[in-house]
Amino acid sequence: MSLSHSLPGPDDITRSVLPNGLTLLTRSNFNSPSATLSGYIPVGSLFDSDEKLGLADFATTSLLRGTQTRSFEQIYDALESVGAHLGFSAGTHTAGFSGRALVEDLPLLFDLLAEGLRTPIYPADEIERLRTQLLTGLAIRAQDTGDMASMTFDKIVFGEHPYARPDDGYPETIRAISRDDIRAFHQRCFGPNGLTIAVVGAVEPAFVAEQINRVLGDWQNPHQPPIPALPEVRPLTGTVRQHIPIAGKSQTDLMVGVLGPLRRAPEYTAASLGNSILGQFGMMGRIGDIVREQSGLAYYASSSLSAGVGPGTWEVSAGVNPANVEKALELIVAELRRFTEAGVSPEELQDSQDNFVGRLPLAMESNAGVANSLLNIERHELGLDYYRRYEGLVRSVTPEMVLEAARKYLDPDKLAIATAGP
């Protein structure tokens, strides 16, 4: 079997949309006795007010703390007794969920998913227990140099845009959220429209469709709001720098970068390959080589490109001795300048392309990897044949295209620079 044909494609992905707006994606894999369930629902921090930021996260994290038919203990006993797993997490645009079970236990997993989504009761004692956990997490975040540099970087890059806000809120906003707020949020925002579920494993698509119809086919929420429109992000007009002092730390975390492309932007693949060369491939690319290996100025140094439904970021991050911040920063900015002036060599691009193509089958080795890939093509409207076309898309990128993408986004004179440490 050829590489491309072993990847998911239109002939082995079954996609259907229920009358209530739920999208179901299934792919059979009879090489394992289990199945993975993954998905998302359009409920994220975009729906939160500034005063109660973290509400979507709080409501989502509480979904399995008790439902109309089972207590928190009963839910986890049911999962544990069959060695299954199910969990929820929240983000900016969506709340995600993932689970796995042996095929014979899938009906239980579907039951619990539907109960969590449709009939959570948010028990008062569980809400307060979770609030304490959330506040503890925020207290730890405030002392984490990496987290604080990242939050500060987002604020500089995104300004007044919703992406500047942390999905998990602030201590004062978490304290302001009542149980009634959580219940009202669930009743208003949770519904089947835009709910997307991927199931991969030793199952027939017809069986999965029958089960999903059984537990979620009749779900309706006439009040479910549309996804809020995203405002424009204003690019920086010059370099902006901010430091968050955190006493008693031996490391300063540094983030340098810019606004990046949308996931479905035509230059995304070129930017992604360029980013690999800049600060990912091998020992963290050019950035890792010059800042860490050659100069010994950083504990770690790499670059990343985060792109989604809205604009992402293209950033370099490093952990450095506080005495070396200026030297490290100088080298990073100089490397960004070289990257946007001279571009990449054909050899560097070839290495990066080989890496991208070679690691794709590895990402598809597990049911979970395939399920996440199906969600990726659905979320970004890439087409069911995307992974069959992937090698061609990657190989078609030229050094000129990488340079063009770099020049479009990476302006060394208009950078967001955030540091956190002593």
Query: Domains of the chain: which residue ranges?
Result: 3-216, 240-421
Q: What fold, for 3-216?
A: Cytochrome Bc1 Complex; Chain A, domain 1 (3.30.830)
Q: What is the DSSP string of 335-351?
A: HHHHHHHH---HHHHHH
Share of the chain above pLDDT 70, in %: 99
Q: How confident is the model at residue 296 (pLDDT cuts 50, 70, 90)?
A: confident
**Who wins on pLDDT, 228 or 370?**
370
What's the full length of the chain, in residues? 422
Structure token pair of residue 102: 């042996």
Q: How confident is the model at residue 341 (pLDDT cuts 50, 70, 90)?
A: very high
From 240, 237, 230, 269, select the one nearest 357 (Cα to Cα).
269
From 117, 106, 75, select the one nearest 221 (Cα to Cα).
117
Q: What is the pLDDT of residue 1?
A: 40
Q: What is the pLDDT of residue 298?
A: 87
**Count of alpha carbons within 13 angstroms of residue 4, beta-carbon side:** 10
Q: What is the pLDDT of residue 5?
A: 60
User: What burial class does residue 77 get, using C-beta atoms within 10 Å of its C-beta: 0-12 exposed, 13-18 middle, 19+ buried?
Assistant: exposed
Q: Measure the CA–CA gap between 137 and 125, rounded to whole angstroms.
A: 19
Question: DSSP label at 217?
Answer: T
Q: What is the pLDDT of residue 6?
A: 84
C-beta of residue 52 within 8 angstroms of C-beta of residue 181: yes
Q: How confident is the model at residue 282 (pLDDT cuts 50, 70, 90)?
A: confident
From 154, 24, 39, select the one nearest 97 (Cα to Cα).
39
Q: Mind listing the pLDDT tens digit for each residue in 182-194?
A: 999 999 999 999 9
Instruction: Tell me the CA end-to-end span of the chain in Å, nearest whole number.
Output: 56
Q: How confident is the model at residue 213 (pLDDT cuts 50, 70, 90)?
A: very high
User: What burial class does residue 347 get, using C-beta atoms within 10 Å of its C-beta: 0-12 exposed, 13-18 middle, 19+ buried?
Assistant: exposed
Q: How confident is the model at residue 291 (pLDDT cuts 50, 70, 90)?
A: confident
User: With a threshold of 0.95, does the pTM exceed it?
Assistant: no
Q: What is the pLDDT of residue 346?
A: 97
From 309, 281, 274, select the one nearest 406 (Cα to Cα).
274
Amino acid at 144: D
Alpha-helical segments (H) within 254-301: 268-279, 281-287
Mean pLDDT of the chain: 95
Q: What is the pLDDT of residue 2?
A: 47
Q: How confident is the model at residue 326 (pLDDT cuts 50, 70, 90)?
A: very high
Q: Mind listing the pLDDT tens digit for each residue in 297-312?
A: 889 999 999 998 998 9
Is 240-421 the same fold as 3-216? yes
Share of the chain above pLDDT 90, in %: 92
Question: Average pLDDT, stretch 131-152?
Answer: 97
The CATH code for residues 240-421 is 3.30.830.10
- The strand pair at 23-28 and 34-41 is best described as unpaired
Q: How confident is the model at residue 293 (pLDDT cuts 50, 70, 90)?
A: confident
Question: Average pLDDT, stretch 217-238?
Answer: 93
Question: Average pLDDT, stretch 370-386?
Answer: 97
Amino acid at 38: S
Q: Mind listing the pLDDT tens digit for each residue in 121-133?
A: 999 999 999 999 9
Question: Average pLDDT, stretch 350-359?
Answer: 96
Question: Average pLDDT, stretch 142-171?
Answer: 97
| 3 state DSSP class of 218 | coil
